Chains A and B, each alone.
Chain A
Amino acid sequence: EAAVTQSPRNKVTVTGGNVTLSCRQTNSHNYMYWYRQDTGHGLRLIHYSYGAGNLQIGDVPDGYKATRTTQEDFFLLLELASPSQTSLYFCASSARTGNYAEQFFGPGTRLTVL
């Protein structure tokens, strides 16, 4: 089964703080995704990537940057964190076939912005 890991698993920061969430997949998947999950809003796509150096804008990108440094690693950056970014963040990956490939999710990072 595909392995996707995330770090940290929990993070507390203050308003205006800098946060970097990390994701690594070890299955040579081309596609990687960052989602946030909130009650009442479901899973929403923040950014995604087709491969190293590629970045695509998701549906809720405001306040977030992302960078895909290698095939394996995808980072989500919050440069001026706000309380509205308190959420559960999931990273996912899928194989080259894109639309028609299962997405494998990491365990999630719970971020609290005070």
Chain B
Amino acid sequence: QQKVQQSPESLIVPEGGMASLNCTSSDRNVDYFWWYRQHSGKSPKMLMSIFSNGEKEEGRFTVHLNKASLHTSLHIRDSQPSDSALYLCAASRAGNTGKLIFGLGTTLQVQP
């Protein structure tokens, strides 16, 4: 069973629209969440990370974290066709292991 669950599996939004992606960990020992973006045929690249309750904004991207429920969400406003990609959520456990647990990802398609 995936310890990091992402939803939806795929998402289509119009250009200029808002995309909302969700991620929940069933591992109570995680304390840090990451969002990676992987364009088709490319390698994953870190988009944002969060470890404190609340939200963090960077340009068009906002990440929320609720540590009590181990739920994080990524919101992309004014979505652009170049945002079309696989979005991977990852969690790291307390302790300095350096390991990340990845979810299966959400495929986002932004239609012009």
- List the interface of chain A (C-beta within 8 A of B): 31, 33, 40-45, 48, 50, 58, 90, 94, 97-108
| B: number of interface residues (CB 8 Å) | 24
Closest to B45 in A: A105
Nearest Cβ in chain B — how far from A46, in angstroms? 12
Q: Are A98 and B44 in contact (CB under 8 A)?
A: no
Number of A-B residue pairs having CB atoms within 8 Å of each other in the complex: 53
Q: Are B46 and A43 in contact (CB under 8 A)?
A: no
Interface of B: prevailing SS: loop
- Report chain A residues within 8 Å CB of B95: 99
Q: Mark B79-96, 1 if CB is under 8 A from A, else 0.
A: 000000000100011111
Closest to A44 in B: B102
Q: Are B100 and A103 in contact (CB under 8 A)?
A: yes
Question: What are 17 A-B contacts defined by CB distance under 8 Å?
Answer: A41-B104, A43-B44, A44-B102, A45-B100, A48-B99, A58-B99, A90-B44, A94-B98, A99-B93, A99-B97, A99-B98, A102-B34, A102-B46, A102-B49, A105-B44, A106-B43, A107-B43
